[in-house]
Chains A and B, each alone.
Chain A
Amino acid sequence: MSDLPQRQTDIGPPHYSKFLPPVIAKNYGKWLYHEVMNAGVMVHVAESGDKVFTVRAATPRLLSTDTIREYCAIAEKHCGGHLRFTTRHNVEFMVDDESKVAPLVAELKSKNYMIGGIGPRISNIVHTQGWIHCHSAATDASGLVKAIMDDVSEYFTEKELQNKVRIAVACCVNMCGAVHCSDIALVGVHKTPPRIDDSNVKNFCEVPSTIASCPTSAISPDPAKKSVKIKLEKCMYCGNCYSVCPAMPISDAKNDGIAIVVGGKVSNLRKDPTFSKLVVPWIPNNPPRWPEVTDAVKKILNAYIAGAKKHERVGEWIDRIGWEGFFRETGFEFKIQHIDDFTFARETFRMSAAFKWT
């Protein structure tokens, strides 16, 4: 270890100015407008007249160092060694002259990169770790993303929609990706309560914080066993106790699955940011391609394409036709699970006699 360099602490990240392409640094804060040239290319024009052309390609988020080196080699060949990533796990290559776009695109295509995601289309799917790396995953994330994106790839690379459709995957309700405001989001859910391993509760868990972790007060002390007990009828399988106490595993291969929520957005465009709402309570895990999930996603997408007006996001389309209209158009069965019985339930009940027939 003696040959290790001197460590530093609390220095923070390197300053971003070290990494900016020259055309970006020169025109920082002085951009005038931008235009989407096609699904994978956009141009930003500065007050100075300078232009930056951005080519966007999908990544699987889980990246090997070899692939990152390949991105670096492309950036060195075409972009002066500069590149960036987007918040939705795409990689972006930027050039300062239109003549440099075609060779860059050609090279990316020759290496089978999936170019696109710009404009009114499906961009890459924001997602979590899933079975690759997470202890509380009720489903996988990378596998679901791959299966869905393969199926809807034409809406990334080419075809336009009425507006952006933002898809997200969270492998449990912790939602590391905070997917709860997406046009279409998949979230891993449990259907059965945690199993208490009494001997390990006393070894690994702090009982008061385990009890406090339960949002429905279903957990109480079990002094005889120096453990805890669960009032099963109160448990709604959130798994928060397992986050606090590893002796309460909740995963259940036969009963874990995926819920689908839709109609959310984060932007303020036209209407306020909106939470996504439940449309399918549970679909079993069916790896490697989760066909029931991809079918449901396509059903939602196709109903949106058939019914939405230009510029409407999924939630705005549903607002216009009503949720009763959404269930009619998609054919999803409306079940007891769709009716809220949790914190914000009352706000969701229809206090009006004006509704549409399904």
Chain B
Amino acid sequence: MSKKYDTPLLDELEKGPFPSFVKEIKLAAKHSDMSGDLLGHTELCFKERVTHWKHGGIVGVRGYGGGVIGRYSDIPDKFPGVAHFHTVRVNSPSGFYYTSSALKEMCDLWDKYGSGLTNMHGSTGDMVFLGARTENLEPFFAEVSSRGWDLGGSGSAMRTPSGCLGMSRCEWANIDAMAITNDITQHYQDEMHRPAFPYKFKFKVAGCPVDCIASIARADMSIIGTWKGDIRINQDEVANYAKTMDIKAEIIDMCPTGCMQFDGKTMKIDNSNCNRCMHCIAKMTKALRPGTEKGATLLLGSKAPIVTGALMSWVIVPFIKMEPPYDEFYDLVDKIWEWWDENGKNRERIGELMERLTFTRFLKDVGLDPHPAMVKEPRRDPFFFWAEEDIER
């Protein structure tokens, strides 16, 4: 039985319609002294309006350089249950689908070795097992890995790739996002488990430009499904939508390229001017479908504001077929990583390195041809470089 704490501030957050994280901590505290102390510890943070967690130390499992984040309380004497409260990142299956039997088995193991608290899921997409003592890390890993699970990434490594649910339940998927996510994860196990990069590297795979996985904002490499060719139109369904929707106001006038026409009966699209933004397809799901030549656009470089400001990924490959065995894709990733490894400073993301050494240098060094899709507009200044072969001697 864990120690009881008065938690008036947290108790307030048990009220209201949204499910309460405080209830979750209290549920876990029924079985775990660690979670019991977490409750008191969190109440103190709320009271003092400051965190009481210390910088992580280096903890992990044998043979891996990541997958576990060390976490210690700065007041372990008051709250011995959270003296160690390490996080174990377990690589989630693509698409976040589970069976109850698999989840229950993981829950049993976590009750045995950890606090009983989890995140489904962490921001990167791992199953996060929150709160373990150092001596329990190795046994927990043995138990889960023997049942077919493995750890995700942390530190200066490939982070756990994640993707949208793609073709499994979405008609807009132009690429098999779940298969690609799983393939990248399996292809680069060493790069994920043994950090050897200048800094972290994240892949996110979106089936279409709606980008439900937010790949363009938070993946060093964003893989976004797209298509070539004409949007498929079912004119009968267009006519049905016309009964309930103001097609001119909601679709034609909102098309960013003005490439659509509707005369009250028939819809026409000037596909050569379509930029595949997905607005019309997303609003008229029964009537419009993406074209049939499927592939992906590859974009590189996004990250959060640390250090010199947030970046969104930008186009490096306008169109690539993303089909097994993905040789062309992996060759390119290997070249990009080699370039980053040779040129990147410690804790420099690939996007920051491209900015520092220039995008043009990146393109030349990894062997990608310039393409209008890579820029919003050409440069304004006249200060460009020429190569030796461009000069008459």
- The yes or no answer to A203 lying at the interface (CB within 8 A) is no
Contact with A along B161-174 (1 / 0, CB 8 A): 01011011111010
Docked Cα-Cα span, A312 to B193, in Å, equals: 43
For chain A, the bracket of interface size reads 35 or more
Choice from B38, B147, B250, B276 contacting A311 with Cβ under 8 Å: B250
Main SS at interface, chain A: loop
Residues B277 and A146 in contact, CB atoms below 8 Å apart: no
Q: Which residues of A contact B213 (CB under 8 A)?
A: 87
Residues of A within 8 A of B (CB): 1, 4-16, 18-21, 24, 28-29, 31-35, 44, 52, 54, 58-69, 71-73, 75-76, 81-87, 89, 91, 94, 112-114, 126, 128-137, 140, 142-143, 145-147, 149-150, 153, 157, 170, 173-178, 180-181, 209, 212-213, 215, 238, 240, 242-244, 246, 251-254, 256, 264, 266-271, 273, 275, 285, 287-289, 310-311, 342-344
Residues B54 and A135 in contact, CB atoms below 8 Å apart: yes
Residues A13 and B146 in contact, CB atoms below 8 Å apart: no
Q: A15's closest neighbor in chain B, by CB?
A: B182
Q: Which residues of A contact B10 (CB under 8 A)?
A: 288
Q: Which residues of A contact B307 (CB under 8 A)?
A: 213, 215, 238, 240
Docked Cα-Cα span, A349 to B65, in Å, equals: 45
Residues B171 and A31 in contact, CB atoms below 8 Å apart: yes
Whether A64 contacts B25 in the complex (CB less than 8 A), given A32-B171, A44-B171, A174-B304, comes out as yes
Q: Which residues of B contact A344 (CB under 8 A)?
A: 309
- The yes or no answer to B310 lying at the interface (CB within 8 A) is yes
Residues A72 and B103 in contact, CB atoms below 8 Å apart: yes
Residues A82 and B99 in contact, CB atoms below 8 Å apart: yes
Docked Cα-Cα span, A11 to B169, in Å, equals: 26
Contact with A along B75-118 (1 / 0, CB 8 A): 00000000001010011111111111111100110110000111
Q: Which residues of B contact A62 (CB under 8 A)?
A: 21, 24-25, 117-119, 130
Choice from B16, B56, B214, B306 contacting A87 with Cβ under 8 Å: B214
Q: Which residues of B contact A311 (CB under 8 A)?
A: 250, 254, 279, 283
Whether A181 contacts B150 in the complex (CB less than 8 A), given A58-B18, A87-B212, comes out as no
Choice from A11, A143, A243 contacting B145 with Cβ under 8 Å: A11
Docked Cα-Cα span, A7 to B347, in Å, equals: 32
Please give 17 more A-B residue pairs, beta carbons under 8 A apart, in addition to A11-B148, A33-B285, A64-B35.
A12-B182, A19-B95, A68-B103, A145-B18, A146-B22, A150-B17, A173-B305, A175-B310, A177-B218, A178-B214, A215-B306, A238-B307, A243-B306, A287-B46, A289-B12, A311-B254, A343-B308
Residues B150 and A140 in contact, CB atoms below 8 Å apart: no
For chain B, the bracket of interface size reads 35 or more
Q: Which of A20, A114, A157 has the most CB of B within 10 A?
A: A20
Q: Which residues of A contact B142 (CB under 8 A)?
A: 4-7
Docked Cα-Cα span, A7 to B42, in Å, equals: 34
Whether A14 contacts B93 in the complex (CB less than 8 A), given A7-B142, A28-B168, A273-B216, comes out as yes
In the A-B complex, list the 9 residue pairs whose CB atoms are closest, starting with the nearest: A178-B218, A150-B16, A72-B100, A5-B146, A175-B304, A246-B55, A131-B45, A149-B18, A268-B209
Residues B279 and A269 in contact, CB atoms below 8 Å apart: yes
Residues A267 and B310 in contact, CB atoms below 8 Å apart: no
Q: Which residues of B contact A212 (CB under 8 A)?
A: 345-347
Contact with A along B199-221 (1 / 0, CB 8 A): 00000000001111111111000
Q: Which residues of B contact A68 (CB under 8 A)?
A: 103-104, 107, 118, 120
Residues B169 and A16 in contact, CB atoms below 8 Å apart: no
- The yes or no answer to B362 lying at the interface (CB within 8 A) is no
Residues A29 and B167 in contact, CB atoms below 8 Å apart: yes
Residues A128 and B210 in contact, CB atoms below 8 Å apart: no
From residue A157, how far is it (CB to closest CB) to chain B in Å?
A: 8
Residues A133 and B217 in contact, CB atoms below 8 Å apart: no
From residue B136, how far is it (CB to closest CB) to chain A in Å?
A: 11
Q: Which residues of B contact A113 (CB under 8 A)?
A: 19
Whether A13 contacts B100 in the complex (CB less than 8 A), given A63-B118, A251-B51, comes out as no
A–B pairs, 15, beta carbons within 8 Å: A16-B168, A60-B24, A61-B119, A63-B118, A65-B108, A67-B27, A84-B96, A135-B54, A140-B45, A147-B13, A173-B304, A176-B124, A238-B305, A246-B54, A268-B275
Contact with A along B1-39 (1 / 0, CB 8 A): 000000001101101111111101101101100010010
Residues B185 and A12 in contact, CB atoms below 8 Å apart: yes
Whether A12 contacts B91 in the complex (CB less than 8 A), given A24-B168, A133-B71, comes out as yes
Residues A20 and B168 in contact, CB atoms below 8 Å apart: yes
Whether A288 contacts B12 in the complex (CB less than 8 A), given A7-B141, A67-B24, A269-B278, comes out as yes
Docked Cα-Cα span, A165 to B139, in Å, equals: 43
Residues B97 and A65 in contact, CB atoms below 8 Å apart: no
- The yes or no answer to B312 lying at the interface (CB within 8 A) is yes
Q: Which residues of B contact A246 (CB under 8 A)?
A: 54-55
Q: Which residues of B contact A29 (CB under 8 A)?
A: 167, 173, 176
Residues A8 and B145 in contact, CB atoms below 8 Å apart: yes
- The yes or no answer to B149 lying at the interface (CB within 8 A) is yes
From residue A314, how far is it (CB to closest CB) to chain B in Å?
A: 15
Residues A9 and B173 in contact, CB atoms below 8 Å apart: no
Q: Which residues of A contact B278 (CB under 8 A)?
A: 267-269
Choice from B38, B93, B279, B282 contacting A13 with Cβ under 8 Å: B93
Docked Cα-Cα span, A67 to B27, in Å, equals: 8
Q: Which residues of A contact B345 (CB under 8 A)?
A: 212
Whether A238 contacts B306 in the complex (CB less than 8 A), given A63-B120, A135-B54, A180-B217, comes out as yes
Docked Cα-Cα span, A75 to B131, in Å, equals: 27
Q: Which residues of B contact A86 (CB under 8 A)?
A: 96
Residues A342 and B309 in contact, CB atoms below 8 Å apart: yes
Q: Which residues of A contact B91 (CB under 8 A)?
A: 12-13
Q: Which residues of B contact A60 (CB under 8 A)?
A: 18-21, 24
Residues A14 and B145 in contact, CB atoms below 8 Å apart: no
Residues A52 and B169 in contact, CB atoms below 8 Å apart: yes
